Amino acid sequence: MRILVVGGGAIGLLSARFLAAQGAEVCLVDQGALGRESSWAGGGIVSPLYPWGYSPAVTALAHWSQDFYPQLGARLLADTGVDPEVYVTGLYWLDQEQAEPLAWAARERRPLQALSMEAVYQAVPALARRYSQALYMPGVANVRNPRLVKALRAALEAMSNVRVHEQCAVSGFIREGGRICGVHSTRGELRADRVVVAAGAWSGELLRGLGVGLPVEPVKGQMILYQCAEDFLGSIVLANGRYAIPRRDGHVLVGSTLEYQGFDKTPTEQALASLKASAVEMLPALADAEVAGHWAGLRPGSPGGVPFIGPVPGCEGLWLNCGHFRNGLVLAPASCQLLSDLLLGREPIIDPAPYAPAGRLG
């Protein structure tokens, strides 16, 4: 089977890898450079920020992916020599209401616990002495998303049944007899037996040309990066909707904003000031740390953050794997495995019904 994947972020790259591993001939195209949009810009926490606040559909994908990430990182390192740095640090929620999260954890059998602030300050000495209660989940990891993209790219380049075209914009679909059999692109016509749209925030725009209303829209997020000592922060901390993520080399990411401003992804001084204030509120020593970077990306916003995974009704041959909102990196392994299972007629890893485009499109 020849499969064309439109979109070269983490979702598109991992979809291509899983499909090609099952013997499909895969062509992947991206309008820019691979993985330079949301996949590059995000924080890479391998958990929804507030996992108890999501639907069972998101939870099912998240749990499968969280369990899969360590072996994915190890396999990519072995296959490519590029380490995605799946870094297990645990996650502290500070001054978070506790009843609902703890009930959720008991129901879902996740190891979330309430800790005394004395224990938290011993574990995270850089934390501001301003918090009154904390929840902690061990085992939560973060992945260094630019390196994950680099590893996935290297893995695809090593597969003889995969072709990758960067700087290849898609302008529309080739439709013959009610069937989608390819796309019009800056490289000309590209034909396939199946076309998978995994174009992140741009997915809704692509489908509009078919008269399909896909409720996926760009949602801007801004981040800052600090350079710190390697032992400055040992765990992810989250307070008042903002988080700080440690990397192994001492970099600390702080994010993020949530802005509905179309496809504008210009970093702003207002957001920089707000993020700095949140950073110092959590970790006072960051007031004297060097800001090594400030950037913005566009998330693929969707209703409830539930992605669209499956065939598009009325457009035979057209499939979706998009709309992951704030959790693209978290949900990517499960989403892409589910897409591969469905498209190739295999037993799906989880119930696919909540993600089906049917009944959710305009």
Q: pTM for the complete prediction?
A: 0.96
For the chain, the average pLDDT equals 97
pLDDT tens across 119-136, in order?
999 999 999 999 999 999
Question: What is the tally of structural domains in the chain?
Answer: 2
Question: Does residue 319 carry a pLDDT above 90?
Answer: yes
**Does residue 85 lie in a domain region?**
no
Q: What pLDDT, on the 0 to 100 scale, is given for residue 318?
A: 98
Rounded to whole angstroms, the Cα distance separating 96 from 93 reads: 6
pLDDT at 325: 98
Q: What is the pLDDT of residue 362?
A: 87
Q: Which is it for strands 141-142 and 134-137: parallel, antiparallel or unpaired?
A: unpaired
Question: Alpha carbon of 334 to those of 20, 204, 339, 343: distances in Å?
Answer: 16, 22, 9, 14
Chain centre distance of CA 288: 31
- The full DSSP string for 86-97 is -EE--EEEES--
- List the structure tokens of 122: 């011993």
- Looking at the structure, tell me whether residues 323 and 258 fall in a common domain: no
- Same-domain pairing of 293 and 311: no
Instruction: Write out the residue range of the structural domain in which residue 13 sits.
Output: 2-74+146-216+303-355
Question: Which pair of tokens denotes residue 169?
Answer: 């914009």
Q: What are phi and psi of 110, to 5 degrees?
A: -110, 145
291 with 225, same domain: the answer is: yes
Q: What percent of the chain has pLDDT over 90?
A: 99
Q: pLDDT, tens digit, for every residue of 24-37?
A: 999 999 999 999 99
- Would 80 be classed as within a structural domain? no
pLDDT at 62: 97
Instruction: Report in angstroms the alpha-carbon separations of 127 from 114, 123, 130, 298.
Output: 17, 9, 9, 30
Per-residue pLDDT tens digits for 172-230 = 999 999 899 999 999 999 999 999 999 999 999 999 999 999 999 999 999 999 999 99
232: in domain: yes
Residue 250 has pLDDT above 90, yes or no: yes
CATH assignment of the domain containing 49: 3.50.50.60
The pLDDT value recorded for residue 32 is: 97
Verify that 255 and 289 share a domain, yes or no. Answer: yes
Position 83 in a domain:
no
| Distance of alpha carbon 102 from alpha carbon 108, whole angstroms | 10
- CA-CA distance, 122 to 142, in Å (whole number)? 22
Domain CATH for 273: 3.30.9.10
362 within a domain of the structure (yes/no) = no
Q: Which residues contact 354 (CB under 8 A, 6 or more apart)?
A: 55, 56, 57, 60, 306
